Amino acid sequence: MRALNLVTLFLIIVGGLNWLLVGIAHFDLVAVIFGGQDAALSRVVYVLVGLSALWQIMPFARAISAGEPAAEANLANRR
């Protein structure tokens, strides 16, 4: 489960940085790397980033309901 959380977090960071580039410079790095916004690989990356965001809602909701100090303590105990 930890590996999946790390992978999804990484994909969300990639997506966030891509949106930063789109917002600042009108440059879609994912589209450039994978052959355009309509290319199959680009669409796969976009879908994986979106699914990763959905996956990360669960730990986010747990952290909110537990309160920040409790969530941090719980995270430290898992390591």
d(CA 23, CA 12): 16
Mean pLDDT of the chain: 88
| pLDDT at 79 exceeding the cut of 80 | no
Q: Where along the chain do its domains lie?
A: 2-78
More confident position, 10 or 67: 10
Sign of CA dihedral 73, 59, 49, 18: negative
pLDDT in tens, 14-54: 999 999 999 999 999 999 999 999 999 999 999 999 999 99
What is the band of 55 on the pLDDT scale with cuts at 50, 70, 90?
Answer: very high
d(CA 37, CA 22): 12
- Phi and psi torsions of 52, nearest 5°: -65, -40
